[in-house]
Structure 1
Amino acid sequence: GSCVLTIQLSDDELCEREEAEFFLLLTGSTRRHVSSTLRISHDTLQLVCPAHDRCESVVVTLCSLDPDGLVRNLSSEQMCFVQDLALDMAQFLVSAVGQAEGTEDALLLNECHIPLQECEKMDQSLALAFKHLTLPPDWSLLGDNNEPTPRETLLHFAARRGLQRVASFLLQQPGARHALELPNRDGVTPVTLAQSCGHNALLELLT
């Protein structure tokens, strides 16, 4: 999702529907998306591709809306949604929560794997992936532990890199209030971590 799709109109479509509005219908196995288009020239349309909930081929149908209100299906093609790195990372982070062993290393993630200069881009793509990820039933930021001990949480992960959009999503999830107050093994909470790293916008969100 969030990439730009470009559509080239044929001569027949231009001649017959100069005043029509165009939109795209994407039909998957469980979801349908309807997206309006922007006409950037007399024969070219663009739109932002919606995010989908799974990797699969979908049917993409170009439709027109005539001034008289008549909707026409003009053409159809297949398009494949593929799983990207952001979705892989989101699934990995969700699965790491509550693991008895290795959670600290999993959530710290060596900086060489995620360059700091890429954090803004990562924030956008990872937040989008989290939004469209189906979380396990009864999933919580604290895992299954009713009496959490000091540890790294996903809020620590977001605070360390200034991931404001990701943190905004996490704060809406079960266990967020306790995770926000939970220190890691160094005694540092997500709020303190955001402050020490100079992520002022995120600090304001967390407080």
Structure 2
Amino acid sequence: MNNRTIKMELLPTLAPVYGGGLIVAFLPEDYVLPENIRAFAIFKGSKQRQLTEARVSVEDNAFHAVIPDHEPPEEVEVSVYIQLPSGEGDTIASERFTYYLDQTCYLARYLAASVHKLESLEDWDYIQGPNFSLEQEDFSTLDERLTSAFQHLILPLDWNLLGDHDELIPRETLFHFAARLGLSTFVTLLLEKNGAQECLALRNRHNELAESIARERGFEGLADLITDPHAHGVIRWESKEQIGPTTVLKQHSFGTISTSSHPYLDTWPPIEKEIEALTATSLPPSSSLPLRYNMNSTWDEALEESPSSRTQSMFHSESYDSEFASPDSLF
């Protein structure tokens, strides 16, 4: 294959560190793609590299993929690697892409730290204020974004929904918070955490259970989930499998699979091994991406839903060095 790497156009050009949006990579119009290929998007940063399979769109000379999560927030290189039916493969195009911290990231970190401070979730003036702009939130997507952002956090192994408090003191818990906003997907993630069962039984200072708050606000399905999680077949938000010394295979709840790797002694694991793991785990992408990224929607809709449609002032490269930079600073 030709070893020349060409420039491509990315849409969008930036995303929050928890990923999850749609990215489209456009090749030059005069570039002729080989037939019957499989394609992979590679996101390579300073400390982490992700691979995920992309759908080939011959009519647009483009590739469609779901953006994986990444740390730290930084500019990375996105490359497209194609594999021929013979198994031969090569990187054909690359472009720069930016991961940033958005207000959903900061909200997730505030919520994770709140378990150690009993009054944190009662301060709705602060939660709705400029730090998180909850009053201006798009609640149609908040549940999924917040769940992804919380899943992305590197929490201590002993992190517990009850925090450091052994006594079951009445308080506003993360389940109460989720019940007020109807965050059912977020609840499925919380149900996996240490202290979930005890936390579900906690009443707040107004003697309310999370379940009763959900029903009062009309979230009957969420109330039923909180009342009896096991009866509703709650599944894991994300599963991980170690496939190499520094490489993990991740399967996401919305149907995509990716690998995440780190360099060892300044050497990255062979890309071919990760591609082999991806192709062994999944069939080639069909003509449509998973339901939440169905390409029957227009490009305008994809753009409207992408993080790049938000103001770029939310991206601050120095944020990674802030008080939220590490799990230790949260607790």
Q: TM (normalized to structure 2)?
A: 0.57
SS of the counterpart of 1:172? coil
- Structure-2 separation of matches of 1:204 and 1:80: 40
Query: Higher relative contact order at CA 8 Å, sep ≥6: structure 1 or structure 2?
Result: 2
Change (3 A) 1:158 1:87: same
Matching residue of 1:127: 147
Cα separation, partners in 2 of 1:60 and 1:118, compared to 1, 3 Å:
closer
Q: Which residue of 2 aligns with 1:75?
A: 93
Residue 36 (1) aligns with residue 56 (2):
no
Residue 151 of structure 1 corresponds to 171
Residues 7-46 of structure 1 mapped to structure 2, 5 A cutoff: 7-10=25-28, 13-14=31-32, 17-40=34-57, 41-46=59-64
Give the 4+ runs in structure 1 shifted more than 6 A: none
The one-letter code of the counterpart of 2:193 is Q
Q: Structure 1 residue 63: deviation in Å?
A: 0.7
Q: CA deviation digits over 1:177-197, x for unaligned, max 9?
A: 111000000000111111111
Q: Are the counterparts in 1 of residues 119 and 171 from structure 2 also a CA contact under 8 Å?
A: no
Alignment of 1:1-207 (within 5 A): 1-10=19-28, 13-14=31-32, 17-40=34-57, 41-99=59-117, 102-105=120-123, 109-110=127-128, 113-115=133-135, 118-207=138-227
Per-residue deviation, 1:107: 9.6
Q: Is the 8 A contact 1:108 1:152 kept in 2?
A: no
**What's the offset of the Cα at 1:13?**
4.1
Q: Do the aligned partners of 1:61 and 1:74 also contact (CA within 8 Å) in 2?
A: yes
- Residue 170 of structure 2 aligns to a residue whose secondary structure is coil
Bigger shift: residues 74-83 or 100-109? 100-109
Deviation at 1:10, TM superposition (A): 3.1
Name the CA shift for 1:100/1:157 in 2 (closer, same or farther; >3 Å).
closer
Decide whether the 8 Å contact of 1:107 with 1:152 is kept in 2.
no
- Given residue 170 of structure 1, which amino acid in structure 2 is its aligned partner? L
- Using a 3 Å threshold, how does the CA distance of structure 1 residues 6 and 103 change in structure 2: closer, same or farther? closer
- Scaled by the length of structure 1, what TM-score is found? 0.88
Q: Which has the higher helix share?
A: 1
Which 10-residue stretch deviates more, 166-175 or 41-50? 41-50
Distance in 2 (CA, whole Å) between partners of 1:79 and 1:116 is 27
Query: Secondary structure at the residue paired with 2:32?
Result: helix
Shift in alpha-carbon separation, 1:11–1:178, aligned structure 2, 3 A: same
* Matched length: 206
**How has the CA–CA distance of structure 1 residues 165 and 54 changed in structure 2, closer, same or farther, with 3 Å as cutoff?**
farther
Are residues 108 and 82 of structure 1, via their aligned partners in 2, closer, same or farther at CA, if it must alter by over 3 Å? Answer: closer
